[in-house]
Chains A and B, each alone.
Chain A
Amino acid sequence: MTIADQVTGSTIAGTANPAETKPRAAAPAISLPAIGERELRLDLFRGLALWLIFIDHLPPSLLTWFTIRNYGFSDATEIFIFISGYTAAFVYGRAMLESGFVIATARILRRVWQIYVAHVFLFTIFLAEISYVATSFENPLYTEEMGIMDFLKQPDVTIVQALLLRFRPVNMDVLPLYIVLMLALPVILWSMKWKPDLTLALSTVLYAVTWEWDLYLSAYPNGFWAFNPFAWQLLFVFGAWCALGGARRMSRILASRVTMWIAIAYIVASFYVTLTWYAPRVPHLMPKLLEQWMYPIDKTNLDVLRFTHFLALAALTVRFLPRDWPGLKSPWLRPLILCGSHSLEIFCLGVFLAFAGHFILAEVSGGAAMHALISLSGVLIMWGVAWVISWYKRVADKSGAKTKNAVGNADLAGGG
């Protein structure tokens, strides 16, 4: 990694770092890495989440069966938001300790602005695509579906609503959620610095209140945000809490065999439930009462079942994939780690590539071979671009700013 290599020469943390005086750094499970050192597992899984989000945004194909949403309740979005909370708290939390609340807030706002611009850029591409389809596609089978083009009749309203984040086309819901969460980050961090557990408790209360009183943000032309920030903040704050020492305090729970077996049992049970959705031949042995209690599993408000499924996955991952696992340095995982470490750019690229993939499938051919080719080249392009960005940053860092190391790296801050 660019920065890590310059500062420490090695990214393997090994056991506790003797130079590290902060007590929270010696955690056996997840711990704060020494300054400038990347937690490769975070990059790895965020990269994985980015690839999975890209594949999930393409029309279903054979590859879709490899994405985790088919094997349990939660999907790549949970991984992405949790890791984003973790890394954002890690970097900006340190900035807040070192430079104070105002400076840290200013840096967070700059990051928010970057994400906002990225969102508007993606919206422009979407407008171009939808306008093209509206003018070239008149199959009488789909007269009704073409009603979606009605908003083109009043672009003034639509574009202003898009700038207000109230009009969000399909697949463009994650960045607005992320913008809102990052806007709240200064307050979250300030409160975390003061009383981390209380902050997490407050976040849980907000989550519960959201469910009880049905809080939501409205959208245009009607409806509401597809990812409710009042609910999803729980995952983000939980990530931040873990980054600021929570993970260390949980390490005994994470290491216990009981936790492991509960997690495994839960994951297997949720796998069975998902199996009944996709494989209608599997006999429905689900008791009616359980079905009524369980359904619908609400993604908008981050259903408790989804949250706990993510926790179970995370617990097993932390247990079986230690941070000094040599495989993290293997060239086979390099592409994932590279993508994960430039997540804002790669996320936007992924959304764009999914648009482009749909377009090619529609215009050229829709066969399975073409589909596989598009998925594969999409992933390769994401890898290539991540490599170029990483190369550019290395060059830019060498030629200039030694100061950059001191302030940290925005990408480490959890990118998009």
Chain B
Amino acid sequence: MKAKVLLSLILLCGGLAAPPARAGDAAPAASAAPPACELPSYLLTSESQLPKVAEAVKSGKPLEVLVIGSGSTRIPASEDASYPARMQAILKDKLPPAEAVHVSVEIQSKKTAEEAAATFVKLMEAKRPTLVIWQTGTVDAIRAIDPDDFRGAVTEGVAALQKAGADVVLMNLQYSPRTETMISVPPYLDNMRVVAQEHDIPLFDRFAIMRQWNDQGQFDLFSPSRGPELAKQVHDCLGRALAQFVFDAAHLGPAQQQN
């Protein structure tokens, strides 16, 4: 009988070996990146690809990137330190000097995914980007939008962006430990992952990345500080990680990197 009980216990917690599989594969984010930005490589890679970005770089066409985001895409009063601006700088560094890179930002503050997606057709006609990075989810989580409706809205938005001829990267919510007891984030993270999987597009897991930094002690995201320094550093690292992520997903190998 004891053996049976033991067996059932082993079955119940059989998978305690799982966590080690997850840890221990750290790789530097970018060769020149500050140590604070370091991330395990699985957070910077994707099985999905960005064929249009690859094509544009290969044929030497200008790379037009559009970041569609909400409030957390910008730092109030320090726009040029926000992650889209940082990503542009890093991309320019990494790509051949002849390659023109331009990152534009479309802030849709306080708009849910559904409200943002409604503007995409016009937006895409005006900007014609090669790559769209769509950061969403926060407003929906704050307003507790039905996760099914949220998934529907993200699906529609992604379809509209793809139809307009762009590669799409989805970016999920920030890791915000202070508001963890107030905003229920997991359903929105899960649904974004599902949409990314269904459409075979890369998902930049900003939540996991920021949590990694917080857990490893690189940044103290609990800090109540009112100054912009922490936000600037985090956005710098996010910009680097995002550039690296795009590079990887578009298979722009070291041949194109000019480090």
Contacts and interface: CB of A to CB of B under 8 A. Distances in A.
B197 interface: yes
A300 B1 CA distance: 38
A147 B71 contact: yes
B75 A280 contact: no
A129 B179 CA distance: 11
A49 to B, nearest CB: 13
Contacts of B138: 144-145
A140 B182 contact: no
Nearest to A129: B181
Contact of A222 (B109, B143, B176): B143
Contact of A169 (B5, B21, B182): B182
Interface residues of B, number: 66
Interface stretch (A2-10, A64-72, A101-109, A249-257): A64-72
A226 B141 CA distance: 13
A136 B71 contact: no
B144 A222 contact: yes
Interface in B75-116: 75-77, 109-110
B122 interface: no
Nearest to B173: A145
Contact of B25 (A169, A274, A281, A300): A281
A212 interface: no
Contact of A140 (B76, B187, B214): B76
Contact of A138 (B182, B211, B217, B226): B226
A265 to B, nearest CB: 11
A130 interface: yes
Given A147-B110, A320-B5, A65 B18 contact: yes
A136 B143 CA distance: 22
A366 B184 contact: no
A141 B21 contact: no
A226 B183 CA distance: 13
B145 A223 contact: yes
Nearest to A142: B176
A156 interface: no
Contacts of A145: 72, 138, 142, 174, 176, 178-179, 183
Contacts of B214: 366
Contacts of B217: 367
Given A65-B18, A169-B181, A223-B145, A327 B5 contact: yes
B182 A130 contact: yes
A213 interface: no
Contacts of B222: 361-362, 366
B178 A142 contact: yes
A131 B149 CA distance: 30
Interface stretch (B7-15, B57-65, B126-134, B250-258): B7-15
Contacts of B22: 278-281
A408 B200 CA distance: 58
Contacts of B180: 59, 170, 358
A71 B21 contact: no
A21 interface: no
Given A316-B8, A317-B8, A148 B75 contact: no
A15 interface: no
Nearest to A297: B190
20 contacts: A129-B181, A130-B181, A133-B182, A139-B226, A141-B221, A142-B174, A142-B178, A144-B71, A144-B139, A145-B72, A170-B184, A221-B144, A223-B146, A271-B15, A275-B18, A295-B197, A316-B11, A325-B5, A355-B181, A366-B222
Interface of B: 1, 4-5, 7-8, 11-16, 18-19, 21-22, 25, 42, 47, 70-72, 75-77, 109-110, 138-139, 142-147, 151, 174, 176-184, 187, 190-191, 194, 197-198, 211, 214, 217, 220-228, 230-231, 234
Given A221-B143, A222-B145, A322-B1, 4 more contacts: A143-B76, A275-B18, A296-B194, A366-B222
